Amino acid sequence: MAGLQKKRIAIGGIMHETNTFSTVKTTADLFKRYEWQVGREIFDHHAKVNDYLGGMIAKGHELGVELVPAFWANTNPTGLITRDAYRELIETLLNHIGKSGKLDGICLALHGGGLAEGIDDLEGTILSEIRKMAGYGVPVVATLDLHANLTETMVKEADALFGVNFYPHTDCFERGQEALENLLKIINGELKPVMYVEKLPMMIASSTTDLPPAKDINELCWKWEEHPSVIDCTFFHGFCQTDIPDMRVSVLTMTNGDEELARKASKDVSRKIWELRDLFYVGYPNPGEGLEQALDVPGGPVVINEMSDNPGAGAPGDGTHLLKVLVERNIENSCFGFIYDPETAELAHQAGCGNWITTLLGGKTDSLHGKPLRVKAYIKTLTDGRFVHTTQMYRGKKADLGKSARLKVGNVDIIVCSKRAQTFDEQIFKLHGIDVTQYKIVALKSENHFRSSFTPLAKKIISVDSPGLSSYNLLNFQYRRVKRPVLPLDPV
């Protein structure tokens, strides 16, 4: 192992999932307010954290690699990354990799669903830029999100790509470990990866892998991974709110030098997806119907997740469709965690705990997600919005949602925060003194990531859909660029 200790691997990445239907432009400032880390700051924020970089760091230390932390930037999904932001991001990444000295490999955490103004394929472009600088002699490996819209450029420019298998993405840490370990094998000449991607003429809305049909497809991928030459076989769901020609479901198989085997596995898994395709297009109740169903469930808590306004998919997070139903019906023993509204959070902080405010809550980003709600609210708790995640996906990661408040409007406890994010775990409730297990109705904004923490404590989960930028009804979106024909827009 003595020889391995000298291997120098740069780690870092740029991560964004771009919702092209969003009106919120993604500036460098949005990254800087969320995650913008250079050099050793990457170790400070990710060592012992259950995310991609945390996995790379842990595996690097285990294998005696010298890790060179370069640059990492990440922010919540929003609209197109501006030209200026892209330039700053790529220059910072290249600059920090460039000054790392002689490298044996580069290991990146990317998404696969990123876009910038004039750039349809953020990750393919990042990888190409790195190749221009470092050449093809230095292996480059990357992790990808399950919602990646895979492109030929990504597959061509990376030596190996490792997508997360689960939604909720509970295996980011494991994929980070896998990427680093396999990169080292490539460096040592033990592995010559060949990738084959099969794309299907279909796009799907967010589908958890906890349940069929996605669960069954994963099982077939893992069956292929039992083959000694198959390094990885991954079902990528794609990100259906990115209107680009390449947006679609795909399967990527990576083998050790066996192209035919990679092709066979990708085609076999694609056949299974196609067989099960109808199961991906199901309807969901609207907020009113979902609440009725929840009230019929004996006991609690019943978790109602508002899928259509998921800030984790580029929706504004200040939508009022579900909250309006709770407030108008004045549902006893109900809580909502949380809505994005920095103005109301500021107003509450100025008024102080124990006082009353009258405000227009939410509905300020656009008109699609519901109008602002006029409420008279009692200020129960004020916080700085800071906590540490306990979800398996991000365990140990620090969250900062800015000035936050727990308001009481009639019977409903409502948490208001100053930064956009989906709800991953119960920590935002705990921070405001709410024990969700004691509530009948727990409402939140997320599509599937919340399941990792809430499935064990919920009596039942009811997903509701309404007009929104992450709605399940893909027929409501005005797609202009996606390659046609494609399910569910066209008969295929």
Which residues of the chain form contacts with Zn ion (CB under 5 A)? 145, 147
Q: Hey, is 59 helix, strand or coil? A: helix
Closer to Zn ion by CB, 239 or 479: give it: 239
Which ranges in 47-187 belong to alpha helices (H)?
Answer: 52-62, 83-98, 122-134, 152-157, 172-187
Instruction: Please spell the DSSP secondary structure of 432-482, one letter per residue.
Output: TT--GGG-SEEEE--SSTTHHHHTTT-SEEEEE--SSTT-S-GGGS---SS
Q: Select 359 or 448, whichever has its Cβ closest to Zn ion.
A: 448
Nearest distance in Å: CB 237, Zn ion? 8
Query: In the complex, what is the shortest distance from the CB of residue 325 to Zn ion, in angstroms, rounded to a whole number?
Result: 28
Closest to Zn ion by CB, 13 or 300: 13
Which residues does residue 14 pair with via DSSP β-bridges, in sequence order? 73
Whole-angstrom distance, CA of residue 145 vs CA of residue 393:
12
Q: Quick one: 167 or 439, whose CB is closer to Zn ion?
A: 167
Tokens, residue 352: 């102080």
Q: Report, in Å, the least distance between residue 412 CB and Zn ion.
A: 30
φ/ψ of residue 71, rounded to 5: -155, 140
Q: In terms of CB distance, is 67 or 108 closer to Zn ion?
A: 108
Shortest distance, CB of residue 151 to Zn ion, whole angstroms?
Answer: 17
Whether the Cβ atoms of residue 108 and residue 69 lie closer than 8 Å to each other: no
26 φ/ψ angles, rounded to the nearest 5 degrees: -95, 105
Closest distance to Zn ion from the beta carbon of 470 (Å)? 12
CB of 378 to Zn ion, least distance (A): 37
CA gap 202, 187 in Å, rounded: 37
Q: Which of residues 120 and 145 has its CB atom nearest to Zn ion in the complex?
A: 145
Which residue, judged by CB position, is nearest to Zn ion in the bound state?
147
Q: Sign (positive/negative) of CA torsion 158, 160, 164, 170?
A: negative
Separation of alpha carbons 431 and 246, rounded Å: 41
CB of 26 to Zn ion, least distance (A): 16
Q: Of 147 and 248, which has the nearer Cβ to Zn ion?
A: 147
Both tokens of 478, joined, read: 């005005």
Instruction: Give the sign of the dihedral formed by CA 120, CA 123, CA 125, CA 126.
Output: positive
Identity of the residue, 145 or 246, whose beta carbon is nearer to Zn ion in the bound complex: 145
**124 close to 158: Cβ distance less than 8 angstroms:** no
Rounded-to-integer distance, Cα 14 and Cα 97, Å: 13
Cβ neighbours of residue 9 under 8 Å, at least 6 residues apart?
A: 60, 65, 66, 67, 68, 103, 104, 105, 106, 107, 180, 183, 184, 187
CB of 197 to Zn ion, least distance (A): 18
Looking at the Cβ atoms of 171 and 232, the one nearer to Zn ion is 171
For β-strands 356-361 and 373-383, DSSP reports them as antiparallel
The nearest distance, CB 424 to Zn ion, in angstroms, is 12
| Choice between 175 and 403, CB closer to Zn ion | 175
Closest separation in Å from C-beta 381 to Zn ion: 31
